[in-house]
Amino acid sequence: MKQKLALCPLIAALGTGAAAAAEIDVTITGFGDDTGLARIVVMEGEAGYLGEIPVARIASVPIRAGRAEWQADDLPPGRYAIIAHHDRDGDDALNRPFLGLPQEPYGYSNGAWTSFGLPDWEEVAVDLGEAPVRQAIRLRMNAFAAVSQMALVGLPALVALFGALALLRRLRRTATI
């Protein structure tokens, strides 16, 4: 009997130590079209956000009518950051081919934004606890990336156009001689 009573405080302590899982609902908008997938990366704590520890969760969800929705109800309570992007080509990566600038639209938790680097941790931090948390993330294209994309596509077109104009001018000159 004494052994059973001695185990009661231990069992009670173990029972109260387990924390309930947190719930988060994420809605992502700002897609140019429904091709590809919405990619969501959830990072735990500032260390996760800075890439010092592995990410807490990665998910890819379909885009329907210009929006994507994702839910998790099994994350431990704590502080998290979320980055989402439009994975147009389905390669599971945020493409950064030119100067390291993202070439796909992306967004952060709490609507945080920056043109260079990551927003500050405090701007993206989301506290998950007992109450469900809702996050709305609007994807945007980095202005510098958009200009670089136009330059990469537009520069060869401009060279071809000016080359064609120069050739046309030369042909006219030789036709009048």
Residue pLDDT, tens place only, 4-32: 544 444 444 444 445 688 999 999 999 99
Residue pLDDT, tens place only, 71-102: 999 999 999 999 999 998 888 877 666 666 67
Domain ranges of the chain: 2-141, 143-177
| Token pair for 27 | 């809605």
- The pLDDT value given to residue 10: 41
Where is pLDDT greater, at 1 or 135? 135
- The pLDDT value given to residue 9: 45
Residue for token pair 């036709």:
175
pTM of the prediction? 0.70
Residue for token pair 């043109």:
115
CATH architecture of 2-141: Sandwich (2.60)
User: Looking at beta carbons, which pairs linking 151-157 to residues 24 or more positions away fall under 8 Å?
Assistant: 152/98
Report d(CA 114, CA 86) in Å as an integer. Answer: 17
Residue for token pair 């173990």:
14
Beta-carbon contacts of 74 under 8 Å, excluding residues fewer than 6 positions away, are: 21
Q: Are 62 and 35 in contact (CB under 8 A)?
A: no
Q: Calculate mean pLDDT across residues 39-64.
A: 96
Residue pLDDT, tens place only, 119-128: 999 999 999 9
Report d(CA 88, CA 115) in Å as an integer. Answer: 21
Q: Which helix (H) or strand (E) holds 156?
A: helix 143-176
